[in-house]
Amino acid sequence: MMAAGVEPIVVVLTALDLEYQAVLAHLSDPAEVAHPAGTLFEVGRLPGSPGFVALAVTTVGNNATATLAERAIALFQPEAVFFIGVAGALHDNLNIGDVVVATRVYALHGGRVDGVSLHARPQAWNAPHELDQRARAINRARSWTRLLPPSTTVPTVWFAPIAAGEVVLDSRSTPMWQWLREHFNDAVAIEMEGAGVALAGHLNRSVPVLVVRGISDLADGQKAWADRGGAQPMAASHAAAFGLAVAAAVLDRDGSAEPVQLGHIAPLPIDTGRPNRMIATAREVVAADQQVLLVHTLTGLRVHVAIVAGDLFSWPQEDLVIGFTDTFDTSTEDDIIIASDSAQGQLLARIYRHDVERLDRDLDRSLAEVEPLLYERRADKPLGKLVRYPVGTVAVLREGRRSIFCLAYSRMGNNLVAQSSLSWVQHSLDRLWQAVHRHGQFSDVNMPLVGSSRSRIREADHQDLLVSTMKSFVDASRAFPVCRTLRIVLHPHHVHKVDIAAVGEMLKRW
């Protein structure tokens, strides 16, 4: 039972780095926490869910997994432990990419040898009833599919036993295959860590453990071919999507995440045995100046919207939306064309390191297939760029693993004064969500309040713009996947211009 005032935490373990990366891609603001013996965990949040996820890689094998699972349980005292990864199929009706939720884990190498033969004496651990029920409910609702990469064919989810041993099985004509058929014929998949994590949970006052696997090969001699074809990353991403959907349900078992009003994330009590002080300190380093004003989960979608006061650029991994004019001007020299303290100016300074030529090249490359609206003459527009694009044009830039969506929602006058309107903003937002859907990876997206700064919109104030943005995103998210979390980052000086409580009430009705 969780102590009062302590945020819940779950542990997720993986065996391979690609499995680890598949889970890490879903966590926001991960911070490193070290066990005294040296095991490193990354502790972050599932966007929109309360509490934390502690993630670690165990390496291959049941013994190593049992040891590190013990460490994780002692360190974090989690609500549950999940093992997420890939496995080989044992039944012909499973396909590569399918997800298996283990209803029972067999330790297949237990036995006794006499003068005649080897007799099976396996250990087995059933999935905890509550986790099994939550997983089945999530599968029925199909809410977990929102965590899949865009354009992914939704895989089949199987609820069945699995076998965990100490060998990689890649043939159906071996004694091991015959052993499985004779003694574990209800197991649909084989892997190498599930028994270790299940044993660790059993030995720690029955900490709930759930093993979720993505099928990456058919154990039929073609494993190397399947691996070269990318089956492991695909299977890992499917398992991560489903496993983390169940983890989110465990963290939010009281439904407190829809919606909640939050202030600064306060340090957690440190007298419960959890590394709360380490987690809180690490999170403060990541985003010390952020104030979360509102978090809301869209009903039935497991998609989240948040309003935050702080610095748009404090999150180093999330996708970004940056407002531009129709000319995609970039020069901040003497603040004549673009103000250096604007989001555009900060993009140039903080991400492009003042390399305006590189930014222009990236923009030109992204806009190469967009038909310009018109070409200005230098006599009419003495400074800045001359090519105009339609309002609503989105140029997509790449910076590492994230995307930057450059949204043209205003018109740059030849006198270098930008002008927009509420209808232009609404049209541009519609185009933005489509671009995020096509080019994003269903990641978290951070954006400023579009239209609230220098676009001189006369018919709408900050509250109107915030409500319009939220409504536009909600409508788009009900039509097609956009992102897991939309985070609107307000300038701290603008917080008093919006009614957060009123926005929260509107989100409940939507």
pLDDT in tens, 394-453: 999 998 878 999 999 999 999 999 999 999 999 999 999 999 998 887 778 999 999 887
Residue 97 domain-assigned?
Answer: yes
Q: Which tokens go with 111?
A: 């036995």
pLDDT at 488 exceeding the cut of 60:
yes
Q: 3-state secondary structure string, 130-177?
A: HHHHHHHHHHHHCHHHHHCCCCCCCCCEEEEEEEECCCCCCCCCCHHH
- CB count within 10 Å of CB 96 equals 22
Residue 380 domain-assigned?
Answer: yes
Rounded average pLDDT over 455-478: 89
Residue 276 domain-assigned?
Answer: no
Q: What is the pLDDT of residue 41?
A: 93
Banded pLDDT at 485 (limits 50, 70, 90): confident
Convert the pLDDT of each residue in 211-230 to its tens digit. Answer: 999 999 887 777 777 667 77
Do 244 and 296 fall within a single domain?
no
- Mean pLDDT, the chain, whole residue set: 84
Do 211 and 69 fall within a single domain?
yes
Residue 427 domain-assigned?
Answer: yes
Residue 4 domain-assigned?
Answer: no
Banded pLDDT at 171 (limits 50, 70, 90): low
Do 236 and 361 fall within a single domain?
no
Separation of alpha carbons 262 and 459, rounded Å: 31
Q: What is the pLDDT of residue 297?
A: 82
Residue 398 domain-assigned?
Answer: yes
Convert the pLDDT of each residue in 83-108 to its tens digit. Answer: 999 999 888 888 999 999 999 999 87
Q: What is the pLDDT of residue 170?
A: 66
Do 341 and 244 fall within a single domain?
no
Q: What is the pLDDT of residue 292?
A: 78
Poorest-pLDDT segment among 51-65, 154-168, 243-257, 283-297: 283-297
**CATH number, domain with residue 225:** 3.40.50.1580
Q: Which residues pair with 305 in a beta bridge?
A: 296, 486
Q: Which domain-ending residue is among 232, 251, 270?
A: 251
Convert the pLDDT of each residue in 2-50 to its tens digit. Answer: 433 357 899 999 999 999 999 999 998 888 888 888 899 999 999 888 8
Domain count, the chain: 2
Q: What is the pLDDT of residue 112?
A: 60
Q: What is the pLDDT of residue 5?
A: 39
Do 233 and 324 fall within a single domain?
no
Do 179 and 291 fall within a single domain?
no
Separation of alpha carbons 201 and 199, rounded Å: 5
Q: Which residues pair with 321 in a beta bridge?
A: 405
pLDDT at 478 exceeding the cut of 50:
yes
**pTM of the complete model:** 0.52
Residue 268 domain-assigned?
Answer: no
Q: What is the pLDDT of residue 299?
A: 73
Residue 278 domain-assigned?
Answer: no
Burial of 501 by CB count in 10 Å (0-12 exposed, 13-18 middle, 19+ buried)? exposed
**CATH number, domain with residue 418:** 3.40.220.10
Do 348 and 456 fall within a single domain?
yes
Do 301 and 230 fall within a single domain?
no
Banded pLDDT at 261 (limits 50, 70, 90): very low
Rounded average pLDDT over 285-310: 73
Which residue is listed with tokens 């990354």? 42
Which residue did the predictor score with more confidence, 284 or 446?
446
- Residue 91's domain comprises 9-251
* Helices within 375-479 (DSSP H only): 422-439, 462-479
Q: What is the pLDDT of residue 182?
A: 79
Do 126 and 35 fall within a single domain?
yes
Q: What is the pLDDT of residue 209?
A: 96
Banded pLDDT at 333 (limits 50, 70, 90): very high
Q: Which domain-ending residue is among 251, 273, 301?
A: 251
pLDDT at 118 exceeding the cut of 70:
no
Q: Which tokens go with 451?
A: 């239209």
Separation of alpha carbons 448 and 455, rounded Å: 13
Do 379 and 232 fall within a single domain?
no
pLDDT at 301 exceeding the cut of 90:
no
Do 148 and 54 fall within a single domain?
yes
Do 241 and 294 fall within a single domain?
no
Q: Given the DSSP bridges, would you call strands 402-412 and 418-419 parallel, antiparallel or unpaired?
A: antiparallel
